[in-house]
Chains A and B, each alone.
Chain A
Amino acid sequence: MSTTATAPKSSRHEASSLTAGQLPSWSTWVALVASIVVAALLTVAFGGFNLVGALALGALLFLVVMHVWSMSVEGGRKAVDRLAKHLVVAAFVIALIPLVWVIWSTLTQGLPRMDVTFFTNSMRSVVGQGGGLAHALTGTLWVTGIATLISVPIGLLTAVYLSEYGHGRLARGITFFVDVMTGIPSIVAGLFAYSLMTMLRGPGTQNGLAGAIALSVLMIPVVVRSTEELLRIVPNELREASYALGVPKWATIMKVVIPTAISGIVSGVILAIARIIGETAPLMIAAGFTASQNMNPLNNAMMTMPVFVYDQYAHPGVPVAPYHERAWAGALTLILLVMALNLLGRLIARRFAPKTAGR
């Protein structure tokens, strides 16, 4: 590298030849602060201070300044290295902006309506203020619950087939099509469930079961993938030890393989629920809209939380504010629910992980 030949003109720090030809460690921060200050002054000069503009312009300025400075002191290769590092850090910061922004606006606009009424009342004959998502909450519980009941056995057994029994063309075909199923757009799953109900019960049929079927189409592949992965890391020695004791294969799977991986399987199922609980489009099509409590998943439309959020936003009454407030509060509830599920899933996976990491 450039440590061997320090050009005499650039070596002002004759005393320490080791650090010659390098930018001092404070240079990054100084350049950053200086660029932002200059950018802020520029925005003041061109029509009023603008924080967002100052930060964005400052970041650009920083990249250029730092590149030129490093190029002149450290040479081209190091300058490119620095540029890459700054761009990579910038990418991370850019991704944080929407995350923080979404959470911030949901919190500030959703909190005002997070009251008891919101969780105990439905929207039945509510115009304007008041009302809540009780009907959507029970609907989500019903639909997600049924979807879980359908998906978990199918997904679990398929994963068992793929990891314990499957080889040859059928297993490869199933693996491929499970992957294909992962890519089905959620709205197509909704259309599928709607078509199914149209054929069984006549056109225009919307009910909770149809919503659950749509969600199952989305959930099954997720359960299969996560479970299969876990079953595969169960050490083979455990299976062989069990066979050696004369235990039949099915009992080995039920009593040895699955219990070893159970924490991971449970967390996989919870993460899959977290994935589907926020799905809107398929439920809108298959389960429909309603303002009232419906406890029967076999008949009539059933409201769910994501559809509630969409409905409050997209079809507001004349004073828009209470409807949008309910939409934001619903969004906040939904985010909290999904994050809690995610956290729970990860916690279970982490807490009971040593079992799967057996020798």
Chain B
Amino acid sequence: MSHSSSSPSTTERQESSENSLVPAKKRIGDSVFKGLSTGSGVLILVVLALVALFLIMQALPALTTSPDLLMQQGYGPFWSWVIPIAFGTVYSSFLALLFAVPVGMGIALFISHYAPRQLAQPLGYVIDLLAAVPSVVFGLWGANAFAPSVNTAWIWLNRNMGWFPPFGGQASGTGRTMLTASLVLAVMILPIITSLCREVFLQAPKLHEEAALALGATRWEMIRMSVLPFARAGIISAVMLALGRALGETMAVAMILSGANVINWQVLTGTNSNTIAATIALNFPEAFGLRVNQLIAGGLVLFVITLAVNMLARWVVSRRAAFSGAN
């Protein structure tokens, strides 16, 4: 570590940083360390590129084979196979968001603006416990405990509110429906929405909040006028990240949903649109030959969808970062 005063070599002068008069001595350790850390950063880029490359290479046979051959050796022509399950993926995630966003934002508000100060952090931990439950456990619970319990409610909904198109159709006897699966999905993405929203809500400028209260606003009016507008971009990005998570969620859906390769908007029936991830998980262990390629091609479609959603979310966040000089 000890180093004697180095004699400046004039040839390296231009390489020194502009605010030091004496150029630093070149050290082996420095360049090795810098090379290692830059290398592992680049390695991450390489790995990501490889993920895309390998998926494409393994998916290519399924994408280029004629539909007839896929009919015999695969799961049917690629696009007519993947579109229903892509629909199921998006539909179940959309429903999950529908349930999870209001509740998640409510919890975040509860922790950031309603709960007593000393309780706020422990309560946050309690919600984080939900994130600690592995998805296979959620699947087990959803299929064995949740679905049988809620089925009576679903049958009641189907009988009394069947005029509402999504609740129509022949009610499922097992409760393993789209509604059940997306409710469990909602529970699983709740911690993400809550923790991200909580963070943005806590960042809302205190002065704005106090000004609103001083002008006689009620607590809700204060939140509506000073917290929510400030947090809008953060909420959007939290929702998008949660959407990305829901799109890729596998085991819970695979274990709960009794799915088929159909497009079905009804959420209480026994034939539901399966999701891409669940289809892969359910079929992969028995797949061989061209079927493996077709499943990997399905995974590629899922990868593209989640990539688009995540990039959109990051873009929203970065746009917010550029304009956050307000506080």
B220 A81 Cβ-Cβ under 8 A: yes
Known pairs A81-B218, A94-B103; list 17 more (Cβ under 8 Å): A84-B220, A88-B107, A99-B129, A160-B37, A177-B45, A179-B314, A184-B306, A185-B299, A188-B302, A188-B303, A194-B296, A248-B29, A253-B33, A280-B251, A285-B284, A289-B285, A334-B137
- On B, residues with C-beta under 8 Å from A are 1-3, 27, 29-30, 32-34, 36-45, 47-48, 50-51, 54-55, 57-58, 102-107, 109-111, 114, 123, 125-130, 132-141, 143-146, 184, 187, 190, 194, 216, 218-221, 223, 241, 244-245, 247-251, 254-255, 277, 280-281, 284-285, 288, 292, 295-296, 299, 302-303, 306-307, 309-311, 313-314
**Distance A73 CA – B132 CA, assembled complex (angstroms):** 45
A154 close to chain B: CB less than 8 A: yes
Question: A278-296 toward B: CB 8 Å interface, digit per residue (1/0)?
Answer: 1111001100110000000
Question: Contacts A92-B107, A98-B187, A250-B34: A187 and B250 contacting too (C-beta < 8 A)?
Answer: yes
Instruction: Name the residue on B nearest A185 (C-beta).
Output: B248
A1 close to chain B: CB less than 8 A: yes
- Nearest Cβ on chain B to A245's Cβ, whole angstroms: 8
Interface centre among A83, A255, A314 (most CB of B within 10 A): A314
B44 A181 Cβ-Cβ under 8 A: yes
Question: A166-179 toward B: CB 8 Å interface, digit per residue (1/0)?
Answer: 10001101101111
A335 B134 Cβ-Cβ under 8 A: yes
Decide if the interface of chain B is mainly helix, strand, loop or mixed: helix
A23-31, A58-66, A119-127, A198-206 - interface stretch: A198-206
Which 4 A-B residue pairs are closest in the complex by CB-CB distance?
A185-B248, A278-B134, A91-B106, A183-B310
**Distance A339 CA – B126 CA, assembled complex (angstroms):** 11
Instruction: Name the residue on A nearest B29 (C-beta).
Output: A250
What count of chain A residues pass the 8 Å CB interface test? 100
Chain B neighbourhood of A85, CB < 8 A: 114, 219-220
Chain A neighbourhood of B43, CB < 8 A: 154, 158
A180 B310 Cβ-Cβ under 8 A: yes
Question: Contacts A92-B106, A192-B54, A306-B134: A249 and B44 contacting too (C-beta < 8 A)?
Answer: no
B137 A165 Cβ-Cβ under 8 A: no
Question: Contacts A88-B106, A184-B51, A246-B3: A102 and B138 contacting too (C-beta < 8 A)?
Answer: yes
For window 219-257 of A, CB contacts with B under 8 Å fall at 220-221, 224, 246-251, 253-255
A186 B106 Cβ-Cβ under 8 A: no
**Distance A313 CA – B137 CA, assembled complex (angstroms):** 11
B309 A255 Cβ-Cβ under 8 A: no
A112 close to chain B: CB less than 8 A: no
Instruction: Name the residue on A nearest B36 (C-beta).
Output: A157
- The one of A189, A284, A342 that contacts B281, using a Cβ cutoff of 8 Å: A284
- Nearest Cβ on chain B to A86's Cβ, whole angstroms: 10
- The one of B38, B54, B106 that contacts A161, using a Cβ cutoff of 8 Å: B38
Instruction: Name the residue on A nearest B3 (C-beta).
Output: A246
B140 A198 Cβ-Cβ under 8 A: no
Chain B neighbourhood of A221, CB < 8 A: 44
Question: Contacts A84-B223, A99-B130: A314 and B296 contacting too (C-beta < 8 A)?
Answer: no
A318 close to chain B: CB less than 8 A: no
- On A, residues with C-beta under 8 Å from B are 1, 77-78, 80-81, 83-85, 87-92, 94-96, 98-99, 101-102, 105-106, 109, 153-155, 157-158, 160-162, 164-166, 170-171, 173-174, 176-189, 191-192, 194-196, 198-199, 203-204, 217, 220-221, 224, 246-251, 253-255, 274, 277-281, 284-285, 288-289, 306, 309-310, 313-314, 324, 327-328, 331, 334-335, 338-339, 342, 346
